[in-house]
């Protein structure tokens, strides 16, 4: 028994350790870590290992991510500054200090972004017969053709906002005309909205040609076409000059609850605020004169530290359009995903799953298994009920079609739709309408939290009673993203898992208290405390055996208590391997605190999206998979689920053929250094070269192989 003196000593040591681990220098800034992640995305655009159009894809992704940063993260920082908040980030910075620090990181990233496009991708595209030229350089007959197209099709769609700069819409490309003496008035600006959504950013020119048997593609930028033909808009004016610019606004929506209103209508009404959110960034063409920049910045009310110049076309996210070009030689080689013969056996899918569990790793395993799972449920006369969560769905979803078919066949079908999925709110409002019209019961009234868990439960009447078939994963039920996201899912007829999932669905749908669970870790109630408990358990195991080990694969690591628990494990001598794709606030390599922790990030052909948590504290160890990252929002503000994998054979397969493979990557992996920067993982002498995604393509499906 502990004596009072021992108890006091333990408490004192714990307080001393907590004070030590609260040191701001032990944490990396969230915003800076996220920007550096986009630096790694940009590295992929510069990597000659990728086919050319895939490199264009990465430069577009980088542009999209930077847009989202200013729409969300920068918007929150600006709000905090305006409110006078004196809070500090985990690493000890004020909100204004974070804005200054992000600018210092952002400026060189933007310069490299523009340089990669201008000096690397444009010349490489031209060599492959994909030309993005200037209107002024075209032959006169081609200019005439494009002018006619501009007059008849584009000009009628160009909007001149009546309210001026206050009505500049979010993330559109705009052209500002500087006009001297327009209609006998002093010099002033006229704003034009460029209709990129309707016509695309790249306008095909009439020029034709062939290169190596392929048709050449010739384009001019839409804004270039407009700027060089301003007389089509203002035929009586002369000496017109114009420059493109781009404005980013706050993309966060404030959902104001009205007790009497339907939550769907509340979200729909709140979306209108996004289009007129406060400005967060101005992007200028490098050629725009300073005087004109100052006029625009003053009109939109942005300080200089929120303005950026770009030496090249603004809005590189629009160049996704180039991926539509039919040039398979410039894209990744396709492969056939594995569809396990154990799943497509002569028996129906339920009989097969009833005999053993399966783990699916998309896109290496085909998503058709999940589609067939629901399609078969829709027509199986023994299936009585289907429950599923929906976060981001594809527009022509076979999953949605299967659910509607099931409802029309008399089955009870319930879809939990998250209306607040960021930037998918409008799509999900339409999804609710489609599901409802098809007879599916839709549940969406969650104003205080997001349902981010990826869950499906099918209830079936069988000769031995009611059987429950569960699918728990990390990815959305989206047939499009399943081809490009690396996501893990688990299929099981385990009755304990099925009952726990049924209770959880009832809790979400009916708002009842969750029951105790053995296999499921559920946020916000138990997931965080259970992760902390498992880390403490690993420390105890290591103190007894010296064999403790932790390995996590996730998107983001930010939650302070989780980081502190990992520091404690490292201080106890436990080796910890982390594969954190995106932002990571844990600082590895701190002497005596985190020097046994290694962190890598992998950005490759597929978006690393799986979450796997391994604890080596007994003979078989424990593996958790599911939807949750280790972030404050995941653990405290969302319904998230991790499954403790019940099948020991699959636990080992996940560990050996998924988690450890990613940790061995020395081609795409970047190692996080103590100062928060990343460097390539070097191939050691005698070490096998390992590109984890290439390995997974070559070895797809082996995780479900068993000796019979």
State how far the alpha carbon of 387 is from the alpha carbons of 351, 417, 455, in Å.
20, 11, 8
Count the residues in the chain. 708
Pick the CATH number of 26-323 from 3.30.1840.10, 3.40.50.12160, 3.50.50.60, 3.40.50.1110: 3.30.1840.10
Neighbour tally for 36: CB within 10 Å: 23
Residues 542, 548 contacting (CB under 8 angstroms): yes
Cα 451 versus chain centre, distance: 16
H/E segment holding residue 677: none
Residues 220, 132 contacting (CB under 8 angstroms): yes
What are the residue ranges in the chain where pLDDT is below 70? 1-15, 160-191, 209, 211, 213, 256-261, 340-346, 707-708
Q: What was the pLDDT predicted at 686?
A: 87
Q: Give the phi and the psi of residue 706 in degrees, each rounded to 5.
A: -135, 155
Say if strands 217-221 and 130-133 run parallel, antiparallel, or are unpaired: parallel
Q: What was the pLDDT predicted at 256?
A: 61
CA dist 580 and 595 (Å) reads 17
Catalytic one among 452, 519, 542, 609?
452
Helix (H), strand (E), coil (C) string for 438-449: CCCEEECCCCCC
Tens digits of per-residue pLDDT, 489-538?
999 999 999 999 999 999 999 887 778 899 999 999 999 999 999 999 99
- Burial status of residue 202 (CB atoms within 10 A of its CB: 0-12, 13-18, 19 or more): buried
CA dist 397 and 534 (Å) reads 38
Q: What was the pLDDT predicted at 181?
A: 41
Residues 215, 201 contacting (CB under 8 angstroms): no
In sequence order, the 6+-apart residues with CB closer than 8 A to the CB of 445 are 263
Q: Which two tokens stand for residue 329?
A: 């030689």
Residues 408, 439 contacting (CB under 8 angstroms): yes
Q: What was the pLDDT predicted at 180?
A: 46
Question: Quick check: helix, strand or coil at residue 130?
Answer: strand
- Give catalytic status of residue 609 as yes or no: no
In sequence order, the 6+-apart residues with CB closer than 8 A to the CB of 448 are none
CA atoms within 13 A on the CB side of 170: 21
H/E segment holding residue 177: strand 173-179
Cα angle 219, 223, 227; round to 5? 115
CA dist 352 and 355 (Å) reads 6
Q: Can you list the positions of beta strands (E) in 268-343? A: 279-285, 307-310
CA dist 625 and 78 (Å) reads 36
Residues 44, 311 contacting (CB under 8 angstroms): no
Cα angle 122, 125, 127; round to 5? 115
Pick the CATH number of 522-701 from 3.90.76.10, 1.10.10.10, 3.40.190.10, 3.30.870.10: 3.30.870.10
H/E segment holding residue 235: none
Residues 371, 341 contacting (CB under 8 angstroms): no
Give 244-289 as a DSSP string: EEEEEE---------TTS-HHHHHHHHHTTGGGPPEEEEEEETTS-
In sequence order, the 6+-apart residues with CB closer than 8 A to the CB of 200 are 222, 318, 321
**Measured between alpha carbons, how far apart are the two ends of the chain, in Å?**
51
Angle between helices 52-68 and 30-46 (to 10 degrees): 160
The 10 Å CB-count burial string (b at 16+, else e) for 224-260 is bbbbbbbebbeeeeeebebbbbbbbbbbebeeeeeee
Virtual torsion, Cα 706, 695, 489, 615, nearest 10 deg: 80
Neighbour tally for 146: CB within 10 Å: 20
CA dist 506 and 387 (Å) reads 10
Say if strands 454-462 and 669-672 run parallel, antiparallel, or are unpaired: unpaired
CA dist 386 and 369 (Å) reads 16
Q: Which of 550, 603, 562 lies closest to 580 in space, CA to CA?
A: 603
Q: Can you list the positions of beta strands (E) in 512-592? A: 520-523, 549-554, 575-580
CA dist 65 and 239 (Å) reads 38
Q: What was the pLDDT predicted at 339?
A: 73
In sequence order, the 6+-apart residues with CB closer than 8 A to the CB of 255 are 266, 267, 270, 420, 447
Q: Which two tokens stand for residue 371?
A: 């589609």
Category of 707 on φ-ψ map: left (φ > 0), alpha (ψ -120 to 50) or beta: beta
Domain ranges of the chain: 26-323, 349-515, 522-701
CA dist 642 and 520 (Å) reads 6
Give 598-642 as a DSSP string: EEEEE--SSEE---EEEE--SSS-EEEEES--BSHHHHHSEEEEE
Residues 27, 90 contacting (CB under 8 angstroms): yes
H/E segment holding residue 577: strand 575-580
CA dist 287 and 134 (Å) reads 15
Question: Quick check: helix, strand or coil at residue 347?
Answer: coil
Give 192-232 as a DSSP string: EE--HHHH-SEEEPS---EETTEEPEEEEEHHHHHHTTGGG
Pick the CATH number of 349-515 from 3.30.870.10, 3.40.190.10, 3.30.460.10, 1.10.10.10: 3.30.870.10
Please give the model's pTM, rounded to 2 decimal places.
0.93
CA dist 531 and 349 (Å) reads 33
Residues 223, 194 contacting (CB under 8 angstroms): yes
CA dist 577 and 569 (Å) reads 12
Please tell me if the domain spanning 26-323 has the same topology as the one spanning 522-701. no
H/E segment holding residue 442: strand 441-443
State how far the alpha carbon of 6 is from the alpha carbons of 9, 377, 502, 571, in Å.
5, 60, 45, 21
Residues 642, 488 contacting (CB under 8 angstroms): no
Q: What was the pLDDT predicted at 653?
A: 96
CA dist 62 and 44 (Å) reads 10
């Amino acid at each position: 028994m502990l004596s009072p003196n021992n108890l006091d000593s333990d408490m004192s040591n714990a307080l001393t350790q907590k004070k030590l681990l609260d040191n701001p220098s032990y944490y990396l800034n969230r915003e800076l870590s996220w920007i550096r992640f986009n630096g790694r995305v940009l590295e992929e655009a510069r990597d000659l290992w990728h086919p050319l159009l895939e490199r264009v894809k990465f430069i577009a992704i980088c542009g999209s991510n930077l847009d989202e940063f200013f729409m969300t993260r920068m918007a929150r920082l600006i709000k905090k500054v305006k409110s006078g908040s004196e809070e500090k980030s985990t690493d000890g910075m004020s909100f204004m200090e974070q804005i200054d620090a992000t600018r210092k990181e952002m400026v060189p990233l933007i310069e490299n972004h523009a340089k990669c496009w201008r000096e690397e991708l444009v010349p490489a595209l031209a060599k492959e017969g994909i030309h993005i030229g200037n209107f002024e350089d075209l032959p006169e007959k081609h200019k005439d053709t494009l002018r006619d197209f501009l007059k008849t099709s584009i000009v009628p769609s160009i909007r001149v906002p009546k309210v001026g700069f206050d009505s500049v819409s979010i993330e559109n490309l705009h052209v500002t005309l500087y006009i001297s003496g327009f209609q006998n008035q002093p010099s002033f600006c006229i704003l034009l909205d460029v209709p990129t959504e309707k016509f695309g950013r790249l306008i095909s020119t009439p020029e034709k040609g062939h290169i190596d048997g392929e048709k050449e593609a010739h384009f001019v930028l839409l804004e270039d076409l407009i700027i060089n033909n301003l007389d089509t808009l203002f035929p009586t004016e002369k000496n017109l000059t114009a420059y493109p610019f781009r404005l980013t606004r706050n993309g966060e929506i404030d959902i104001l609850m009205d007790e009497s209103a339907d939550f769907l209508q509340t979200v729909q009404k709140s979306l209108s605020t996004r289009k007129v959110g406060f400005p967060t960034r101005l992007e200028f063409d490098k050629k725009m004169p300073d005087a004109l920049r100052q006029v625009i910045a003053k009109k939109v009310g942005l300080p200089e530290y929120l303005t950026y110049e770009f030496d090249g076309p603004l809005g590189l996210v629009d160049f996704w359009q180039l991926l539509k070009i039919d040039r398979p030689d410039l894209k990744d080689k396709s492969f056939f995903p594995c569809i396990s013969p154990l799943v497509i056996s002569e028996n129906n899918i339920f009989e097969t799953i009833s005999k053993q569990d399966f783990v699916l790793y998309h896109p290496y395993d085909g998503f058709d298994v999940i589609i067939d799972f629901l399609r078969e449920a829709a027509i199986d006369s023994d299936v009585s009920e289907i429950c599923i969560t929906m976060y981001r769905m594809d527009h022509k979803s076979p999953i949605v079609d299967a659910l509607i078919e099931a409802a029309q066949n008399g089955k009870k079908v319930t879809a939990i739709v998250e209306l607040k999925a960021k930037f998918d709110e409008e799509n999900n409002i339409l999804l609710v309408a489609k599901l409802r019209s098809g007879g599916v019961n839709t549940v969406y009234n969650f104003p205080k939290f997001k349902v981010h868990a990826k869950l499906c439960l099918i209830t079936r009447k069988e000769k031995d009673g009611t059987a429950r078939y569960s699918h728990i994963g990390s990815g959305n039920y989206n047939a499009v993203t399943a081809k490009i996201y690396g996501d893990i899912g688990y299929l099981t007829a385990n009755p304990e898992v099925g009952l726990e999932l049924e209770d959880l669905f009832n809790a979400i749908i009916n708002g009842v208290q969750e029951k105790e669970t053995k296999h499921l870790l559920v946020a916000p109630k138990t997931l965080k405390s259970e992760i902390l408990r498992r880390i403490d358990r690993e420390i105890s195991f290591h103190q007894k055996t010296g064999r403790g080990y932790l390995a996590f694969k996730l998107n983001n690591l930010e939650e302070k208590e989780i980081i502190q628990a990992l520091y404690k494990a490292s201080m106890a001598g436990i080796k910890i391997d982390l594969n954190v794709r995106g932002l990571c606030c844990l600082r590895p390599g701190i002497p005596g605190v985190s020097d046994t922790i290694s962190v890598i990030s992998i950005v490759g052909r597929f978006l690393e999206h799986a979450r796997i948590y391994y604890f080596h504290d007994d003979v078989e160890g424990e593996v958790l998979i599911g939807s949750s990252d280790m972030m404050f929002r995941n653990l405290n503000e969302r319904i998230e689920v991790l499954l403790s994998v019940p099948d020991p054979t699959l636990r080992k397969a996940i560990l050996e053929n998924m988690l450890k493979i990613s940790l061995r990557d020395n081609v795409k992996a970047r190692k996080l250094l103590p100062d928060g920067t990343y460097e390539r993982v070097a191939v050691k002498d005698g070490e096998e070269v390992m590109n984890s995604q290439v390995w997974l393509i070559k070895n797809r499906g082996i995780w479900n192989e068993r000796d019979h």
